[in-house]
């Protein structure tokens, strides 16, 4: 009889075709940090990445076409720039436990994490708790909540919020990738 055991060590990124390396897709882009104004980390992050293609866009362009709680809308918003998002395998682990693996992919990712330890139940308005999203490009984190010279652009291993619990992890993939959201 076959003695099967579950594998507790899934990689963050499973290749679409097992045994075939995927990416990096966007290791050669140049990101210019943008500081968000107000609670606009998603829109600012999307604008910052769209600008890597030469697009003249800002956060307000993405506020009009996205819902900050709908990653599907984020992925659709990146389509005109030849990009989409793909979910990575993740759980509520703290970023510090997988940052080395993500850096090893030498590519472009969005990391979303809880700003406080998440409660189990939403508040009276239906909100679970505050979360934030940052960009990981190769070995550098771009945090739109910070000024460029004050932690907005920082080595991934030095990011001060590595102890935060993960909400979502996305890999930015080329338009039409089989894993896209």
Domain holding 108: CATH number? Answer: 3.90.70.10
Contact 135, 48 (CB under 8 A): yes
Distances in Å between the alpha carbon of 94 and those of 13, 16, 21, 133, 170?
17, 26, 26, 14, 15
Is the residue at 15 inside a domain?
A: no
pLDDT of residue 21: 64
Is the residue at 90 inside a domain?
A: yes
Is the residue at 134 inside a domain?
A: yes
Domain tally, the chain: 1
| Cβ-proximal residues to 55 (8 Å cutoff; 6+ apart), any chain | 80, 81
DSSP 156: G
Is the residue at 79 inside a domain?
A: yes
DSSP 118: P
Q: What is the mean pLDDT of residues 119-127?
A: 74
pLDDT at 20 over 70: no
Alpha-carbon gap, residue 67 to 161, rounded angstroms: 24
Is the residue at 14 inside a domain?
A: no
Q: What is the mean pLDDT of residues 90-97?
A: 89
pLDDT at 126 over 80: no
Is the residue at 32 inside a domain?
A: no
Q: What is the mean pLDDT of residues 145-164?
A: 95
Of the pLDDT bands very low, low, confident and very high (cuts 50, 70, 90), residue 30 is: very high
pLDDT at 122 over 80: no
Residue 111, token pair as written in the block? 């990391």
**Residue from 51, 105, 103, 102 nearest 78 by CA:** 51
Is the residue at 5 inside a domain?
A: no
Alpha-carbon gap, residue 78 to 154, rounded angstroms: 24
Distance between terminal CA atoms of the chain? 38
Of the pLDDT bands very low, low, confident and very high (cuts 50, 70, 90), residue 6 is: confident
Give the domain extent around 116.
41-174
Average pLDDT of the chain, as a whole number: 91
| Cβ-proximal residues to 137 (8 Å cutoff; 6+ apart), any chain | 26, 29, 31, 107, 108, 109
Of the pLDDT bands very low, low, confident and very high (cuts 50, 70, 90), residue 179 is: confident
CA angle 31–37–38, rounded 5-degree value = 130
Of the pLDDT bands very low, low, confident and very high (cuts 50, 70, 90), residue 124 is: confident
Is the residue at 106 inside a domain?
A: yes
Distances in Å between the alpha carbon of 160 and those of 108, 126, 153?
20, 29, 12
Alpha-carbon gap, residue 47 to 57, rounded angstroms: 6
Q: pLDDT over 90 for what percent of the chain?
A: 70
């Amino acid at each position: 009889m076959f003695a099967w055991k579950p594998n507790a060590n899934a990689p963050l990124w499973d290749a679409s075709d097992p045994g075939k390396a995927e990416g990096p897709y966007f290791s050669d882009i140049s990101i210019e940090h943008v500081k968000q104004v107000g609670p606009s980390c998603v829109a600012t992050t999307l604008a910052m990445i769209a600008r890597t293609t030469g697009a003249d866009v800002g956060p307000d362009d993405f506020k009009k076409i996205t819902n900050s709680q709908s990653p599907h809308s984020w992925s659709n918003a990146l389509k005109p720039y030849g990009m989409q998002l793909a979910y990575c395998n993740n759980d509520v682990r703290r970023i510090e436990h997988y940052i080395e693996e993500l850096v090893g992919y030498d590519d472009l990712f969005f990391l979303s994490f809880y700003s406080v330890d998440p409660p189990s139940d939403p508040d009276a308005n239906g909100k679970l708790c505050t979360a934030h999203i940052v960009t990981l490009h190769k070995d550098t984190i771009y945090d739109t909540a910070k000024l460029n010279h004050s932690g907005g652009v920082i080595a991934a291993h030095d990011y001060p919020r590595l102890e935060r619990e993960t909400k979502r992890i996305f890999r930015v993939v080329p338009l039409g990738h089989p894993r896209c959201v």
